[in-house]
Chain A
């Protein structure tokens, strides 16, 4: 393993000197690399290069949470504009990409919060959910149990399985999907998700349970087939 020291260049690319990990005073080589590397940065690169280097990653982040391409594009633009305004406050200690993603995350949480206040909340956590009604009898016991899955471990090795999984997540109703993304992709706790979406932690847990039930069901239909019970 090597430690690396960075020397920013005017071109937005930089020369990274590869230092020996054992003896940091010894240079064992140097490589030229784009600014997208994950080494800590002391200063920001030219804002004109941000879009080129991080645009796709920021867009994916926004799309996963907002679930709407045009809103995700707007969020990326807002975040980059805000970053431009705030660039003097960058203190280093994190990568440029982490810093930009942090700004984007704040923009997205603001949007979701505004939407959460306006949203119809009853539908998220109504006592009965259509899929729950399908699975369970009135007594709470299974009437349509989960099917047997053939070789789930094997599925983890197939790229198509993950494409299916993404589709299943995309098909979640909007707010269930937002709760699910904030939990599983951002690692937020129930209370934080609740604050963002304008519901209680308890409601968040119900929403997550319904989201997982839907994804499970979707995978069963699109990947594992309706196997025997």
Chain B
């Protein structure tokens, strides 16, 4: 029997690797009977969907380079461009 802590690990690892047949069976049986683990697994699945959306949104909005950093990098690039290669 796997305990809830081990099941919580599987609830995460199923997103990172393919679980073995035995692991899949144990996971399914356990969440069928244990509502705490069922809820935890469902919330991790929700989290994954939310992260997907965040990653997509992040490509176009979010933090920006500060004006100082931008100016500093521009100066540095300028120097490098003028150096004979």
Contacts and interface: CB of A to CB of B under 8 A. Distances in A.
Classify the interface of chain A: helix, strand, loop or mixed. Answer: helix
B13 interface: yes
Contacts of A215: 47
A135 B4 CA distance: 10
A56 interface: yes
A29 interface: no
A96 to B, nearest CB: 15
A37 interface: no
A81 B65 contact: no
Given A77-B73, A155-B50, 9 more contacts: A50-B77, A56-B65, A136-B5, A140-B5, A140-B6, A162-B53, A183-B16, A212-B47, A216-B43
B17 A148 contact: no
A212 B50 CA distance: 12
Interface in B34-78: 36-37, 39-40, 43-44, 46-51, 53-55, 57-59, 62-66, 69-70, 72-74, 76-78
Contacts of B12: 205, 208-209, 212-213
Classify the interface of chain B: helix, strand, loop or mixed. Answer: helix
A206 interface: yes
B3 A141 contact: yes
A106 to B, nearest CB: 18
Given A55-B70, A73-B69, A209-B13, A142 B58 contact: no
A213 B8 contact: yes
A155 B54 CA distance: 12
Contact of B55 (A135, A136, A185): A185
Interface of A: 47-48, 50-51, 55-57, 59-60, 63-64, 69, 73, 76-77, 80-81, 84-85, 132, 135-136, 139-142, 145-146, 148-149, 152, 155-156, 161-162, 165-166, 183-185, 190, 201, 204-206, 208-209, 212-213, 215-216, 219
Nearest to A187: B55
A81 B57 contact: no
Given A56-B64, A162-B54, A146 B39 contact: yes
A145 B80 contact: no
B73 A51 contact: yes
A210 B83 CA distance: 48
The CB with the most chain A CB atoms within 10 A, among B57, B62, B66, is that of: B62
